[in-house]
Structure 1
């Protein structure tokens, strides 16, 4: 017969770690998001419909969006733990110049619909990450404003040539 044994309170204390309550609702909401889909759900609830639909949608039949989402879902992560990784270098040359990561921030028109700082925030984030930033033809910030926010970074401009 097995005898019941009460746990040692000192051993239980190690396992019982409580988080301090957060009164910052925005922070609490974002910390509860575990996936991109969770962030999308939060954004859909909190963003005006026109701004959300503009950001969430894609052109015409949204075929490229569907393919991109499928490609992302098809990636399988195979972690290799307990292997040496003394020097990991994610830097790469992108269009003839350096980038800390193999990507940059793509152009998005009307960015201030989604975030009050718009391209200024994106350009500053790109500078902090050491990646290129691209200002859209339909951006809400001037080229000079982007340069001021990202003075040492690689700033690009997406140019649509309009007929009129």
Structure 2
């Protein structure tokens, strides 16, 4: 076997191995939680779909570093939306192109996601949640995270 053939074979095996590991990052929780409810509890008083009438995430306390933070971007800020869409496409593949998620991944198109408060979004995108949702505070600036959030809010419209 020549070096060139060996290199192609090695590259093929490495590619297959990488593809085999890719779904692990988007796998469902062991507890069967589909992550559409941001608090992992479908026993809300409002019918169990994770919606909160006031847009708060009452079952989880937002950490002090994030509590009360508001998105500095207007919902129709074209620059923020464009940048947010690009960042979403680069970093948020588990949620799918349209944000509908999948097993073990939050569906960003739901009324539940639309009701998430700004500080909750910032916290979860920055810090992540469990094994399925990585935190992005070390990969993206806070401005970039807000751009992603601005774009994500359009997915539930």
Q: Determine if the TM-score, normalized by the shorter chain, exceeds 0.5.
A: no
Q: TM-score, normalised by structure 1?
A: 0.23
Larger Rg over CA atoms: 1
Using CA pairs under 8 Å that are at least 6 residues apart, name the structure with larger relative contact order, 1 or 2.
Answer: 2
Q: TM-score, normalised by structure 2?
A: 0.23
